[in-house]
């Protein structure tokens, strides 16, 4: 009696679904579209796993060219996966990791040749690994564990910071803006490695221009210091020079340390302070030296 009621419930549910099949199809399509949107970056990986690896590996069995455990389809799929995975992963994780991931994916597609040639084991391995989503799992790891996305975003931020600094130093950075936009576009396309390359190359040119401008100001101070070091005068006047030169040199050292930390404005402030100190020292030297000479003559 109870079994009859259970079957009746199942039939009722099936009848309801059948009568509302349009609604079921719509719901299924919505769910499918949502899943494709959420996991769109992994669709290509699933194609490699189940169209290339599984499909091509079994296609040669239809024309009777397959061997035990390892066949022509496996090697064809392995070659396609090797190239495809490397091209994709190189943009995300870099050259070395991409070679490793592509090589492992291709070896898995070949059923870990020559292990796949072992009788019985090879047949079991072929059935298991053709269904195992290795490319899909490796792509998840590349996007979560080994991705260069963070490095690319930092490189673009550093480039933007130096571009703003270049404007403050009245340095033309027109071409750099185009490269900045290109690097951002590459990040959106998940090409993090090339984004890093473009951002760092452009940032290097801008930071070099900023350093040259700051260095030119520092050269003026160093030239003044060299001139002061060659002066001859009384002990008191030379003591003022020595003390001022020491302070100015410390400020210059701090300025170049600030440049390495991208604190360009602080570096320029240190250099200007050093410039004021040596200029004041030169004026004080003349006053003290003149006073000492007058005292000596009197």
- What is the model's pLDDT at position 195? 93
Contact criterion met (CB below 8 Å) for 115 and 95: no
- What is the model's pLDDT at position 5? 43
**Rounded Cα distance, 259 and 207, in Å:** 9
Contact criterion met (CB below 8 Å) for 104 and 156: no
31 to each of 18, 21, 27, 37, how far by Cα in Å? 19, 15, 6, 10
- What is the model's pLDDT at position 295? 52
Q: DSSP letter at 145? A: T
pLDDT digits 0-9 by tens, 31-44: 656 655 656 677 78
Angle between helical axes of 174-188 and 192-229 (0-180°, round to 10): 150
- When the pLDDT of each residue in the chain is averaged and rounded to a whole number, the result is 78
Q: DSSP letter at 262? A: T
Contact criterion met (CB below 8 Å) for 165 and 213: no
Contact criterion met (CB below 8 Å) for 87 and 101: no
35 phi and psi angles, rounded to 5 deg:
-65, -40
pTM for the predicted model, two decimal places:
0.69
The number of beta carbons lying within 10 Å of the beta carbon of residue 155 is 23
Average pLDDT over residues 208-229: 86
Q: Indicate the range of 92-101, 119-128, 199-208 predicted with least confidence.
A: 119-128
| HSE (side-chain half, CA atoms, 13 Å) at 54 | 16
Helix, strand or coil for residue 80?
helix
Higher per-residue confidence, 235 vs 134: 134
Pick the closest to residue 234 from 155, 290, 169 (CA basis). Answer: 290
Contact criterion met (CB below 8 Å) for 176 and 205: yes
Find the length of the chain: 298
pLDDT digits 0-9 by tens, 147-201: 999 999 999 999 988 888 888 888 877 778 888 889 999 999 999 999 999 899 9
């Amino acid at each position: 009696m109870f079994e009859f009621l259970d079957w009746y419930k199942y039939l009722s549910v099936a009848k309801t679904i059948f009568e509302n099949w349009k609604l079921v199809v719509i719901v299924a399509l919505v769910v499918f579209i949502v899943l494709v949107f959420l996991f769109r970056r992994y669709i290509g990986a699933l194609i490699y796993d189940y169209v290339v690896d599984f499909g091509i590996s079994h296609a040669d069995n239809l024309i009777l060219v397959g061997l035990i455990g390892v066949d022509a389809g496996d090697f064809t799929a392995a070659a396609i996966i090797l190239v495809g995975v490397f091209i994709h992963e190189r943009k995300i994780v870099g050259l070395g990791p991409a070679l490793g991931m592509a090589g492992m994916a291709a070896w898995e597609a070949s059923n870990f040749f020559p292990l796949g040639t072992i009788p019985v084991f090879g047949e079991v391995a072929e059935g298991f690994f053709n269904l195992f989503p290795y490319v899909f799992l490796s792509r998840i790891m590349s996007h979560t564990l080994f991705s260069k996305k963070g490095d690319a975003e930092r490189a673009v931020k550093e480039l933007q910071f130096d571009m703003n600094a270049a404007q403050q130093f009245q340095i033309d950075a027109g071409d750099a803006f185009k490269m900045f936009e290109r690097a951002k576009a590459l990040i959106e396309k998940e090409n993090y490695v090339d984004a890093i390359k473009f951002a760092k190359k452009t940032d290097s040119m801008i930071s070099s221009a900023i350093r040259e401008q700051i260095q030119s100001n520092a050269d003026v101070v160093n030239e003044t210091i060299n001139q002061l070091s060659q002066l001859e005068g009384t002990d008191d006047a030379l003591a003022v020079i020595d003390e001022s030169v020491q302070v100015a040199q410390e400020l210059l050292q701090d300025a170049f340390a600030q440049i390495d930390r991208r604190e360009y404005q602080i570096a320029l402030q240190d250099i200007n302070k050093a410039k004021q100190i040596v200029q004041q020292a030169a004026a004080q030297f003349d006053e003290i030296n003149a006073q000492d000479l007058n005292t000596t003559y009197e």
